[in-house]
Amino acid sequence: MKLENRTYDELKIGDTAALKRIAREDDFLIFANASGNHNPLHIAAYDGDGDGIDEAIAPSLWVGSLISSVLGNVLPGPGTLYRSQTFDFVGHAEAGDELEISVEVLEKLDDDGVRLATTVTRLADGAVIVRGEAVVQAPVKKLTFDALDVPGLVVQRHHHFEKLLERVKSLPTLVTAVVAPEEPNSLGGALLAGERQVITPVLIGAIDKIRAAADTLGRSLDGIEIIDEPDHARAAHLAVDLVADGRAGALMKGHLHTDDLLHAALRKDRGLRAGRRFTHVFVMDVPGLSHPVLVSDAAVNIQPDLKTKVDIVQNAIDVAISIGIEQPKVGVLSAVETVNPDMPSSIDGALLSKMAERGQITGGLVDGPLAMDNAMDLGAARTKGIRSPVAGMAEVLIVPNIDAGNMLAKQLAVVSHAEGAGLVLGASVPIILTSRADDDMARLASCAVAALHYARTAQPDTFKKAAE
């Protein structure tokens, strides 16, 4: 976009200019952070006016601020300074409305001043929603600029997890055996998921510690089944017993070692083995990306061989389908995108890709080896001459080993502000694996992913209705 101003001498009475803008809820959130106005009326997740409709109404001053985009970019353009602005807010915009912002020169004043009529119109019905007048100091020197390199902003919203939580509302609550929820974070996540009717928690652990954690949170345990077992290993076995007896459809890790939970799940007698290796999947909601990203395996298999990677890929594809990705695109990561005999991860990537072609891995498109850039960025893939249905568009990332997976997942969480839902797959039921550092959204999303995966695999008719 080229910016060229109109100097004071060039301006004439009756000159006009206009720009169009679509109002987005992300704009309102940026405005809320910049202004400090956190009125829930402007956020669709809340019914800010009590009318029973969760609409996002544009902040009036955000709409008014759009006038400056015409004044500063077009008429008079670069070099313009505000002196005053009046507003008459005669209507309101909502997220999704297309707006036209227009200005007209009314009068040329002394000292390079210009008075302009300012209007914002909703294009759908032609309604004027803001009118007023601006007085500006017009530029006196002719200025032209190429497109300015203004840093972009990414709103830390997690649209994908919010959609998962919406889908879960139509499913029956998933009875979940929560093992050792003996401190506030692990207990709070289970209780919150229970309150949101994602799961029905059954708490197994030291009852005095569970009650103390509830007191710390200021939460009630009324109506929640609690099984008193202070020994973590025995508590894990009791949780597996609930699944074996058909009383629970998922396990959830509380404040105990992951090894204790998985050891019980892997027991030979009435355990949860289902024919595949247990593998871990992170479902990541990365702000700014148009789709969730699945990372596997970042928590269970330390240095997986090819046979284990087949299960890692298949489990990741299965859970991706469960959360609504119809044909997951799987990128098998290496440091390079060509096969290097000295680099085992590149060989595994090529073999997994070929195995998928031959039907040994089903349900998704698999390509590898791919470096991280050409797995996720279409421009990087095209630059390297890689053309495939996966390159540059991967939704599932298969890492070489646990080190790479753990680093990638934590980089997405810490640097890219992603939320991560964690599950162990390959068992007869989902195993919800959360971290003490996880916040409420990560815990809720982990439960939601488990509920969707359980419904698709154990209750396909119910899952189909929810998907519709």
Pseudo-torsion of CA 305, 310, 311, 314, nearest 10°?
Answer: 150
Same domain, 350 and 314: yes
Residue 1: which pLDDT band, with cuts at 50, 70 and 90?
low
Among the listed residues 366, 383, 386, 262, the one whose alpha carbon sits nearest the alpha carbon of residue 314: 366
Distance separating the N- and C-terminal Cα atoms of the chain: 42
Cα 331 to Cα 392: distance, rounded to the nearest angstrom: 9
Same domain, 454 and 369: yes
Say if 152 falls within a structural domain. no
Q: What is the pLDDT of residues 189-225, one digit of tens each?
A: 999 999 999 999 999 999 999 999 999 999 999 999 9
Cα 215 to Cα 346: distance, rounded to the nearest angstrom: 52
Residue 290: which pLDDT band, with cuts at 50, 70 and 90?
confident
Q: What is the pLDDT of residues 92-136, one digit of tens each?
A: 999 889 999 999 999 999 899 999 999 999 999 999 999 999 999
Same domain, 218 and 86: no
Same domain, 356 and 275: yes
Q: What is the pLDDT of residues 374-408, one digit of tens each?
A: 999 988 898 899 989 999 999 999 999 999 999 99
For residues 78-92, give the mean pLDDT: 96
Return the pLDDT at 54: 67
Last residue of a domain, one of 122, 145, 168: 145
Among the listed residues 99, 114, 154, 167, the one whose alpha carbon sits nearest the alpha carbon of residue 5: 114
Same domain, 133 and 168: no
Beta-bridged to residue 330, according to DSSP, are: 366, 396
Say if 75 falls within a structural domain. yes
Residue 300: which pLDDT band, with cuts at 50, 70 and 90?
very high
Return the pLDDT at 159: 81
Residue 466: which pLDDT band, with cuts at 50, 70 and 90?
low
Same domain, 188 and 95: no
Q: What is the 3-state secondary structure (H, E, C) of the chain?
A: CCEECCCCCCCCCCCEEEEEEECCHHHHHHHHHHHCCCCHHHCCCCCCCCCCCCCCECCHHHHHHCHHHHHHHCCCCCCCEEEEECCEECCCCECCCEEEEEEEEEEECCCCEEEEEEEEEECCCCEEEEEEEEEEECCCCCCEECCCCCCCCCCCCCHHHHHHHHHHCCCCCEEEEEECCCCHHHHHHHHHHHHCCCEEEEEEECHHHHHHHHHHHCCCCCCCEEEECCCHHHHHHHHHHHHHCCCCCEEEECCCCHHHHHHHHCCCCCCCECCCCCEEEEEEECCCCCCCEEEECCCCCCCCCHHHHHHHHHHHHHHHHHCCCCCCEEEEECCCCCCCCCCHHHHHHHHHHHHHHCCCCCCCEEEEEECHHHHHCHHHHHHCCCCCCCCCCCCEEECCCHHHHHHHHHHHHHCCCCEEEEEEECECCCEECCCCCCCHHHHHHHHHHHHHHHHHHHCHHHHHHHHC
Average pLDDT, the chain: 92
What CATH number did the domain enclosing 30 receive? 3.10.129.10
**Domain ranges, residue 251:** 159-467
Return the pLDDT at 16: 97
For residues 362-381, give the mean pLDDT: 94
Beta-bridged to residue 84, according to DSSP, are: 135
Return the pLDDT at 18: 96
What CATH number did the domain enclosing 442 receive? 3.40.718.10
Last residue of a domain, one of 145, 174, 191: 145
pLDDT for 434 beyond 90: no
Say if 79 falls within a structural domain. yes
Same domain, 135 and 176: no
Q: What is the pLDDT of residues 240-261, one digit of tens each?
A: 999 999 999 999 999 999 999 9
Say if 197 falls within a structural domain. yes
Say if 154 falls within a structural domain. no
Same domain, 57 and 130: yes
Return the pLDDT at 19: 95
For residues 255-268, give the mean pLDDT: 94
SS3 284: strand
Cα 458 to Cα 110: distance, rounded to the nearest angstrom: 77
Q: Identify the DSSP state of 94.
A: B
Same domain, 90 and 230: no
pLDDT for 356 beyond 90: yes
Same domain, 442 and 383: yes
Domain count, the chain: 2
Full-prediction pTM beyond 0.85?
no
Return the pLDDT at 10: 96
CA distances from 277 to 238, 298, 421, 431 (A): 22, 14, 20, 13
pLDDT for 47 beyond 80: no
Say if 151 falls within a structural domain. no
Say if 153 falls within a structural domain. no
Question: Mutual orientation of helices 159-168 and 440-458 as an angle, nearest 10°?
Answer: 50
Same domain, 173 and 95: no
CA distances from 101 to 79, 130, 132, 198 (A): 19, 9, 12, 44
Same domain, 25 and 116: yes
Cα 415 to Cα 418: distance, rounded to the nearest angstrom: 8
Last residue of a domain, one of 91, 113, 145: 145
Cα 123 to Cα 318: distance, rounded to the nearest angstrom: 44
Q: Do 5 and 79 form a contact (C-beta atoms < 8 A)?
A: yes
Say if 124 falls within a structural domain. yes
pLDDT for 297 beyond 80: yes
